[in-house]
């Protein structure tokens, strides 16, 4: 996988170290302390009954979006432009299972175009079935200042998608 950012490379390296010879790493081996340097840009999703729940929403994600989505079901934002896209990718990561690396260009009502790198990696439950997705999302270009990327006010275009079947 061709990854642009250190955070995405760090998460992929951690995922690979935790999976060992298994198809997927287990959530029982997940220790967020090991990911402390990149946690602020991470989101952890858990599949429940036909929906994903945001189990962790990093502080930088909260700052950028202006809302903490921890505990939120993804179905709550299915009508948002970004919501449908994320739910589709989460479903494919779990159903495959697959690893995904995505690059987006986003235009907001506040003006600047942003480039974003997003990696999504599946994790297995105790039975070895895909159940969680660890995600790292970071802006690779665009002004930071006080810009808030609001879900309901953004246009997001997927410009590059890498998928690896597991």
Cβ–Cβ contacts within 10 Å for residue 1, how many?
A: 12
Cα dist. 149→54, 63, 133 in Å? Answer: 18, 9, 22
pLDDT in tens, 29-79: 999 999 999 999 999 999 998 899 999 999 998 987 788 999 999 999 888
> Torsion angle of alpha carbons 98, 11, 44, 37, nearest 10°?
-170
pTM of the model: 0.86
What domains sit in the chain, N to C, each tagged with a CATH number? Answer: 6-165 (3.30.450.20)
CA–CA gap between residue 105 and residue 115 (Å, rounded): 5
Reported residue count of the chain is 166
């Amino acid at each position: 996988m061709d990854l642009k950012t250190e955070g995405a490379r760090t998460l992929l390296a951690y995922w690979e170290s935790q999976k060992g010879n298994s198809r997927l790493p287990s959530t029982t081996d997940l220790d967020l302390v090991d990911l402390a340097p990149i946690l602020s840009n991470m989101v952890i999703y858990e599949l429940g009954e036909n929906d994903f729940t945001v189990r962790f929403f990093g502080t930088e994600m909260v700052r950028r979006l202006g809302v903490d989505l921890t505990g939120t079901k993804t179905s709550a934002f299915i009508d948002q432009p970004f919501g449908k896209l994320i739910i589709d990718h989460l479903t494919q990561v779990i159903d495959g299972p697959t690893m995904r690396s995505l690059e987006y260009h986003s235009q907001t009502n506040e003006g600047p175009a942003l480039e974003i790198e997003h990696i999504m990696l599946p994790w297995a439950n105790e039975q070895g079935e895909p159940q969680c997705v660890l995600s790292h999302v970071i802006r690779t270009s665009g002004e930071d200042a006080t810009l808030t990327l609001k879900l309901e006010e953004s246009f997001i275009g997927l410009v590059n998608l890498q998928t690896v079947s597991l």
